[in-house]
Chains A and B, each alone.
Chain A
Amino acid sequence: DVKVTQSSRYLVKRTGEKVFLECVQDMDHENMFWYRQDPGLGLRLIYFSYDVKMKEKGDIPEGYSVSREKKERFSLILESASTNQTSMYLCASSSYISSYNEQFFGPGTRLTVL
């Protein structure tokens, strides 16, 4: 079974803090994704990575950066958290090998920025 884990289920931070969200997958997947999910807007892609040290901007990258130093780990960084970054953050991974191209999701991190 594919397992995607995220470092925290709930996180509360203050405006201006630097925030790290960690995601780890154990199935040797090439592709990893960070989404945020907001009521009425659905999931929106922040960044994705198709290989170690590679990254591509998604639809809403402003205010975020990412790091992928190892294949299994994809980190989302909020350099200076703001209240409008309060959201549910979901990580996912997928493999090119599977023709199904299914994305496997982590449990999510609910981030509140005060």
Chain B
Amino acid sequence: KNEVEQSPQNLTAQEGEFITINCSYSVGISALHWLQQHPGGGIVSLFMLSSGKKKHGRLIATINIQEKHSSLHITASHPRDSAVYICAVRQGAQKLVFGQGTRLTINP
């Protein structure tokens, strides 16, 4: 069993829909990161969470430390949100352990 599990692995939705991507982990962590990878490979950091909830534009990330679970939500989804979304947990100061990613496709 992977230490970090994401669901779903693939998600296709229509423009405007509310999107939820889930991440569960089985190890102790110091923080959790949500990353975005567009076609072509470049990865950018969206959020770093150690507790509670963060919001940036149409993106919202939450974490429940007791349940070892995090969610990434996208409101009013748009085709430009199509990407692979990756959950990663930080163990110790620097090491990240990654989920396998969720491929999101938003159709116009």
User: Which A residues form the contact surface with B (CB < 8 A)?
Assistant: 9, 31, 40-45, 48, 50, 88, 90, 92, 94, 96, 100-108, 110
Decide: A108 near B41, CB < 8 A? Known: A40-B100, A42-B98.
Answer: yes
A48: chain B residues within 8 A (beta carbon): 94-95
Number of A-B contacts (CB under 8 A): 52
Known: A41-B100, A42-B101, A101-B31. A31 touches B94 (CB 8 A): yes
Q: Which residues in B have some Cβ–Cβ distance to A below 8 Å?
A: 2, 4, 9, 31, 33, 40-45, 48, 86, 88, 90, 93-96, 98-101
* Contact call A101/B90, Cβ cutoff below 8 A: yes
Contact A43 B86 (CB under 8 A): yes
Contacts of B96 in A (CB 8 A): 43, 45, 103
Give the nearest-CB partner of B87 in chain A: A42
